[in-house]
Structure 1
Amino acid sequence: MTAPFSLLMSVYAGDDPEHFERALSSSTRAQTVPPAQVVLVQDGPLGEALEAAVLAAVEASPVPVETLRLDSNQGLTAALTAGLERCEHDIVARMDADDISLPERFARQLPLLEDGRDLVGGGMLEFADEGGRVLAQRTPPIGAEQIRDYARFHQPFSHPTVVFRKRAVLAAGGYQPMGRMEDYWLFARMIAGGAEVDNVAEPVVMYRVGTGAYSRRGGREQWRSEMLLQRAFRRIGFTSRREYLRNVAVRGVYRFVPEGLRTTLYRRFIARGGR
């Protein structure tokens, strides 16, 4: 008998109605171990089509859905912070509005939390936005020691896959603004604070790769977020000076290489947990 848990999702006007319906259904109805509660944050006005899809999906959900509407689009950090307050259970699973949870996702992850972990991620399958063809598999670092070492260079968790203890997230200060890297910043603070962490090697989520998925990982804005993050890591002592210089050099260059090369580097190294 697994502990009850909440599913936390955010949806905004840029999300696709069909993708949202599939994301919610795959994380509730299709799960061998479904959540006990869904907290759905509507991050600003959604538009007629998406609003209708949300209403229909909520009505059809076999799991009770609490909908929280924000008057304006405030971004993911604010949406998840507001939604986390409404989660009734200490164990909370994250899900994005355009991905697909595999049926055994929570059955694989929850035993690790019940065994004492505070944060558990998992592998992902990247699939094409059109046609559904699997493009690559992301295998994360496994085990607390490898995750802690890897985290000083790169994000050790895929945010759409994580399940965590609400009290551990709040103890670390919750989601905080950090450019486009608020998830990495949160998980680093959790690790630095002594949270017990792990990953499931097997894929638990199918991650939709649409047009521009890898172009968004580059550019000047992403580089600015990178520099903010690396300085924050040094400020809390998460990285050494040597690690800071390495990260600025390697990760900074990565933000400006051509998109094709960035995709290849990500899939061959970073997406394999650094192996």
Structure 2
Amino acid sequence: MSRPLGGGGEPFSLLLPVYRRDSPAFLRRAFASATADQTRPPAEVVLVRDGPVPPALAAVLEELTATSTAPVVRVDLPDNLGLAVALEAGLARCAHELVARMDADDVSLPHRFAVQLPLLDGEVDTCDVVGSALEEFSGGAADDDEGAGASAGETTLAVRTPPAGHDAIAVRARFHSPFNHPTVVYRRSAVARAGGYRDLPLLEDYWLFTRMIATGAKAANVAEPLVRYRVGAGAYARRGGLRLLRSELALQRHLVAEGFTTPAQCARNVLVRGGYRAVPQGLRRLAYRAVFTRRPPSS
């Protein structure tokens, strides 16, 4: 799904959480890509510091707060409480109904918000949550002047394209998250109506999206990749292991208890998704690439 670029429209907040393991250089680049580099920039940035951070990262947070082209609202949590708590704390401080998500190590393309926002702030046929495809990349530097495109030494690994229309999104949500979380823009009221983010390590976003769909949120995705998603050395390890398996089983219990999935769908998900979490990392990489991504076109 796509729309013409929109330069005006309703103001929106950018919600960006940061924690101790984030790279100061990557944060600086991510922040610029979602603010000064945008053709439709946010009206404010809500920076959530999830617990104490190292001095170098703290210095960058201070720098961004002082020099940002958009006003910055700081939310400094005294302890590392996890992504769900950090995002809820940030949402409570957002001044605008429309909120865009951004992670501290990804890169937004300059026209990202100009493409997505018209789908939420139009006069007719408006959506409550809009995501996009993303490009997975690795390597490269994080210099201040690298910009939003691929920099020297970076390799685009794959493109992750979610379903576009609402009905296809609702079908996908019974088996897999229908959004790439770092790409979404949503209505704060729709998130609140669904009960907000709830603590479920590494799967809090998927659980939220299912509840948004169940409570009537209209959803869409843009097929064009609008975010470059950094894949680190531990990306596939984090998609498995005992901790994530426990979260996966808890999620499936929640979904069937809430009536979002049937017992048969729950059993399928436990077998397939739970099995995916439990297999060795090499097999997990192959399965992920085969099912959820496509190779970028050759130049």
TM-score (norm: length of structure 2): 0.89
Alpha-carbon distance in 2 for matches of 1:168, 1:148: 16
Q: Is 1:122 matched with 2:132?
A: yes
The 10-residue stretch of structure 1 (57-66 or 19-28) with the greater mean CA deviation from structure 2: 57-66
For structure 1, the 5+ residue unaligned runs are none
Alpha-carbon distance in 1 for matches of 2:202, 2:155: 27
Alpha-carbon distance in 2 for matches of 1:240, 1:207: 33
- Map of 1:24 onto structure 2: 31
Residue 9 of structure 2 aligns to which amino acid in structure 1?
T
Q: Is 1:266 matched with 2:282?
A: no
Correspondences of 1:138-217 after superposition (within 5 Å): 138-217=160-239
- Map of 2:67 onto structure 1: 60
Q: Deviations over 1:17-76 (max 9, x none)?
A: 000001110000000100001000111111211111111122221011011111111111
Alpha-carbon distance in 1 for matches of 2:195, 2:42: 25
Alpha-carbon distance in 2 for matches of 1:179, 1:97: 18
Alpha-carbon distance in 1 for matches of 2:65, 2:229: 22
Q: Is 1:85 matched with 2:107?
A: no
- Map of 2:48 onto structure 1: 41
Q: Deviations over 1:157-213 (max 9, x none)?
A: 011000000000001111111232111000100001111001011101100001110
- Map of 1:110 onto structure 2: 117
> How much does 1:264 deviate?
2.1
> How much does 1:258 deviate?
2.3
> How much does 1:111 deviate?
1.1
TM-score (norm: length of structure 1): 0.96
| Runs (4+) off by over 6 Å | none
For structure 2, the 5+ residue unaligned runs are 1-7, 141-152, 295-299
The 10-residue stretch of structure 1 (243-252 or 253-262) with the greater mean CA deviation from structure 2: 253-262
Give me the identity figure in percent. 54
State the aligned residue count: 272
> How much does 1:2 deviate?
1.5
Residue 244 of structure 2 aligns to which amino acid in structure 1?
Q
